[in-house]
Amino acid sequence: MPVIEQPFEQRARQWQRRRDAVGRAQARYLYALALIGAFYLALSVRIFTGAAEPDEALALPILGLRISAFTIWATAPIVLGFMLLATLGTFFALTRAERGMEFTGPVGEEHDTTPTALDFVVYATTGSSALLTSLAFLVYPIAVAVFYAEAVWIWLRVQSSALPIPARGPLVIIGAALLVAASPGFVILCWRKALKLKRGVGEWRRGRRAAKADKT
């Protein structure tokens, strides 16, 4: 006799597929953010060490265009800001998908079929220290903060630098708008992870007190 899924089970399976898709997108965005951040950091070093000349042009591989290195450098807040918005959006989409999956029970590690490199960097088993497991909640806010800080730093240098940057005004305005737009999402991400960290540290302290009580 065929097993007939209940409506809530079907919905949970749909949310699982949604979570998988969002997880794959998040992994791609994080890798892209790392590559883009490294590129702009290297370009910043070239510019401020004098290795890049004012008339130096960089070729865009796909479009075949040659654009001033200073102009490309000035687009960093725009490109990084957009990628930060997209990456932050995946965190909120994952949260919503996981809530949808809770129709059939708690969501655990077995449901994460698209882990990122950062997940494995701080991977902890069930036998690991509760404190270390809790500190792992900070890895994503720290990663996002690094690229957000890079974008803000370059934006400040672009708008105050005496370097000859074509279209400086529009680039500064658009970059500022994107960075401001990413700020609420970044704050919410940090707040949610901080709450999880607080709960984890609380469990770790209770575990230590219970262990001491057993010894006495």
Q: Report, as an integer, the average pLDDT of 113-122.
A: 68
Q: What average pLDDT does range 110-114 have in this prediction?
A: 63
Residue range 97-120: mean pLDDT, rounded? 65
Task: Count the domains in the chain.
Answer: 1
Q: Which domain holds residue 194?
A: 7-215
More confident: 175 or 196: 175
Is a pLDDT exceeding 80 seen at residue 45? yes
The residue whose two tokens read 């970044």 is 186
Which phi and psi angles does 94 have, rounded to 5°? -65, -40
Instruction: List, for residues 53-102, the tens digit of each pLDDT value.
Output: 666 667 666 666 777 788 889 999 999 999 999 999 999 998 888 787 76
Residue 1 lies in a domain: no
Q: Is residue 129 part of a domain?
A: yes
Q: Tell me which of 44-53, 82-91, 129-138, 167-176 is least confident.
A: 129-138
Q: Do 164 and 70 meet the contact criterion of CB atoms below 8 Å apart?
A: yes
- Percent of the chain predicted with pLDDT > 90: 33
Most confident range (mean pLDDT) of 39-43, 121-125, 193-197 is 39-43
**Selected residue with higher pLDDT from 17 and 38:** 38
Each as own residue / partner, the long-range contacts of residues 118-122 (CB below 8 Å, 24 or more positions apart, any chain) are: 118/30, 118/143
**Rg (alpha carbons) of the chain, rounded to whole number:** 22
- pLDDT for residue 126: 54
**Does residue 2 lie in a domain region?**
no
CB 184 within 8 A of CB 92: no
Q: What is the mean pLDDT of residues 149-177?
A: 90
19 or 150, which is more confident: 150
Please determine, for residue 192, whether its predicted confidence score (pLDDT) is greater than 70.
Answer: yes
Residue 168 lies in a domain: yes
182 is a domain residue:
yes
Distance CA 173, CA 81 (A): 12
**CA 37 from centre of chain:** 12
pTM listed for this prediction: 0.80
Determine the pLDDT at residue 145. Answer: 94
